Amino acid sequence: MKVSELTQRSRGVDLALQVVEKKEERDVTVRSTGKNHRVAEFLVGDETGAMLLSLWDDNIDLIEVGKTYELKNGYVSIFRNSMRLNTGKHGSIEASEQAVEANIENNLSDKFVEDRGRRF
């Protein structure tokens, strides 16, 4: 799979990604549990496009700008009408030896997406 093929319903996503930029880290409180967490977004991509990747807590410290990683079993969510990649509970992100160059000209997170809520 490639970044340009991702949609707001993409699940089970496996991608090789180059990290282009780390956005400002912030602290958030999860409403349902009241627990505090660190969240950071990274601009990541492959030769077909780019997207923001949201990482939480210890996963933030595993990622370095300029390096390449393998996202396994990730998914796409909508946050503030923008698509985001996520690892979730069952996904992972690990260092990769693959050579990947991100195409930031096609940033899918820059495109407006209507958030229609979750459907189960």
- Identify whether the C-beta of residue 56 lies closer than 8 Å to the C-beta of residue 26: no
Q: Is residue 114 part of a domain?
A: no
Q: What share of the chain is helix, strand, coil (3-state, %, to 5)?
A: 10, 50, 40
Q: For residue 83, what are the β-bridge partners?
A: 78
Q: What is the CATH number of the domain that holds 74?
A: 2.40.50.140
Our count of domains for the chain comes to 1
Residue 116: inside a domain, yes or no? no
Q: How many residues does the chain have?
A: 120
Whether the model pTM is above 0.75:
yes
Q: Is residue 111 in a domain?
A: no
Going by C-alpha positions, the residue among 67, 74, 73 that lies closest to residue 102 is 67
Report how far Cα 106 is from the mean position of its chain's Cα atoms: 15
The answer to whether position 120 is within a domain reads: no
Q: How far apart are CA 30 and CA 93, in angstroms?
A: 22
Whole-number pLDDT of residue 120:
43
Domain presence at residue 115: no
The reported pLDDT for the residue numbered 68 is 97
Q: What is the pLDDT of residues 38-62, one digit of tens each?
A: 999 999 999 999 999 999 999 999 9
- Would you say residue 98 lies in a domain? yes
Q: Is residue 46 part of a domain?
A: yes
The whole domain housing 10 covers 3-106
Query: Which residue numbers in the chain have pLDDT < 70?
Result: 116-120
